[in-house]
Each structure stands twice: as structure tokens, then as C-alpha cells.
Amino acid sequence: MSSRHLSRSIAMQSLYEWDFRGSGLDDLQKIVQRNIAEFGPGLEDTNFVHQLISGVLEHKEELDKIIEKTAPEWPIGQITAVDRNVLRLGLYELLFSKREEVPAKVAINEAIELAKTFGGETSGKFVNGVLGTIYREIGEPGKDETSKSKKED
């Protein structure tokens, strides 16, 4: 398992537990540290875990609105806690991560894998449907900038 995939798994599990418990931010930090110790004892660099969690928290309201708009028959509170947090992570990476570090299709595929691993029988399809729809609506984030910079060179 790659360290970035492991980091995503730890971030998702931490966000899930925090969301499920309805805990405060102080509790989230404790949850993250415990999960890093338990699930990633060999993980040398934990910055990616913290970056994902802080990014999701910073953009949580915006992410939830996009998810609800894309899946209107599933209000955010009715989506299972696992699927909700996998979608938040995947959408955060899709919209806000650096394209050169995490291409859009990688962000989607990683979210699907997390959903299949931690979610229910249909979680992978659900996450794929929501993130795929968003991807098609917005186009590939950063693609226009990449095309422009190549033309200017």
C-alpha cells in the first residue's frame, strides 16, 4: 500500500469517527493521532494526512453543498457516514489539490477504492457516480491552465 493511499485511509477513518461521534475539533486531533499510531506506524510523513483533514474541514460546507446538488435525492445527512466522508475527501482532492500532485482521475479512483474498502456493497458505485458527475460538469480541473502554459512555451 502506498503511503499516500494509507494517508487517505487514515484521514477517511479519522473524519468518519469524528463525524459519527459528532465530536469537536480537539477530539479530531486526538482521533487522528490515535489512528496514525494504530494504522500507520511505519508512515514516515504524516503531513498528507493532516493536509487532507484540514482541507476537508476548511471547505466542508462548500463540499457538502456540491454533494447535495449532485445527488439531490440523497441529503447529506442521509448519506452513510463512510460514503459522506469518502465523498468529502475525494471532492476536496478533485477541486482543491494541486493537479501535478493528484490528477483528477487519481482523486476519483482513490475515493472509489476507499468506498469499496470501508463502505457498503454499493458505496463504490455511488461515489463513482457522484464524483464522475462532478468531474464531467466542471471538466478536468487545471486542464485549461496546463494547455495555456504549453501553448505559451
Count: domains in the chain:
1
- List the grid coordinates of 108: 476519483
Range of 98's domain? 3-140
Q: What angle do CA 70, 89, 132 make, to 5 degrees?
A: 40
Specify if 133 maps to a domain.
yes
DSSP secondary structure letter of residue 74 = S
Domain contains 69? yes
First to last CA, the chain: 37
Kindly state whether residue 91 falls inside one of the protein's structural domains.
yes
Is residue 136, in this structure, part of any structural domain at all?
A: yes
- Res. 144 pLDDT band, cuts 50 70 90: low
Mean pLDDT, all residues of the chain: 89
Indicate whether 13 pLDDT > 70.
yes
Does residue 99 lie within any of the structural domains?
Answer: yes
Q: What is the pLDDT of residues 74-97, one digit of tens each?
A: 999 999 999 999 999 999 999 998
Query: Is 74 part of a structural domain of the chain?
Result: yes
Residue 153 maps to a domain: no
Domain of 115: which CATH number?
1.10.940.10
Percent of the residues in the chain that have a pLDDT greater than 70, as a whole number: 90
